[in-house]
Chains A and B, each alone.
Chain A
Amino acid sequence: MMRKKAILSSWLWLAAALVLSACGSGYSLRGGVIEPPKFAPDFTLTDQNGRAFRLSDQRGKIVLIFFGYSACPNVCPVSVAQMAAARRELLQEANDVQGVFVTIDPERDSQSRLQRYMSVFDPTFLGLRGSDDELQSVMKAYGVTAVRKEEPNSALGYSIDHSAFIYVIDRTGRLREIMPYGLQVDDLVNDVRFYVHEKG
């Protein structure tokens, strides 16, 4: 009887701990959480419609950023499609989410190419490009690695080895997560929903 009580109380403690951690930072987030969060480096690039995109203008929205290139076979379309699927699943919270694709291949990803590429995923998503210098500084600020590999035996001419994270930025412009490739749409929905409902 005593033993049963002890077990019961330890369960209660565990439950209390879970509730407390849910109130704090640990609502079971699934991406690579950045603790403590820091402000996401600001940048200005040009979207697929020719308009300037400044990250700090997005305050109030959850911004998901993926760096990739349109000739990328699998990882890039899968990641952007996951971002789009997550936004669809969020339904009424969807308007609080801005999906962003930044090309690491401005040579091939012209503005019109990006326009067509982005249309496959979500009409609200933005495809950004800039000069080599502008992109290099954004990539450096976010720790994006991209290495061009010449492919003389391929009609592609070259491919780009690259890192493949989804960067999650909250309403106040702080970088909260760097999600590794391979997470599921559910994970993205789970975490984005947390940031959507988070109080200032």
Chain B
Amino acid sequence: MAIIEMKNLWKEYGDQVVLERLNATVNEGEFITIVGASGCGKTTFLKLLLGTEQATRGELLLDGHPLPAEPDESRGIVFQRYSVLSHLTALENVMLGGELHGNRWLGITFGKQRKQLRKAALEMLDSVGLGQAADKYPHELSGGMQQRLALAQALIKRPRILLLDEPFGALDPGIRADMHKLVLSLWKEQNLTVFMITHDITEGFYLGTRLWVFDKPRLDAQAPGAYGAKVTYDLPVGDCENGTLKRINQTVGRTSRVLNDTL
């Protein structure tokens, strides 16, 4: 079943073309990892899926209908930063989704319902390794811990689509591996559809079922905004023949140098 379809999708800011001619169909349960040069439009693409930015041309469909133009609970997100609510403890952050669902008026739950939410939230915190930090506020957690908390907060809500914007960038390799395991197990268990941006192409190959490379095939060093980024590689993961990785790394590196020298 196609959950997301893109038909000739463009995103422009004024004169600057960020994304152009995106065409793809994504089935439910796919795990798509996205790599690309810094500044080429990966976050912008997630914003289109989230609904906080609208495409300037083309169609973006969710289940065959135009994607809602505002965020809702069908799509969860973990941002690069600021992803958790600063005035709630870790536990309260993870309970929040359930509370909002349980009480449509105030978003606060009581009694037995609250106890159940609390138990589930504590289990989730344990599984991201934050069991000891349940009563801490985000400012008392390290950057990596905050990202794990954000992940727990998003996953416990069981969204159909999970959007991850470089969620593991700040984690050390050990915890990173744990997080990979966690994301993979929840992905399988909940039949999530995941879009995950990463700068680490090996992580992209290891985690996903499908790897997208965003790149600018036409690139004018004098005017990098004249042409947008497209999906230049759409690889089923497993196709790990040696040359591909190297070739991707080279072209992405070239684009990155042009974008980030001239900007």
Bound together: no
Interface residues of B (CB under 8 A from A): none
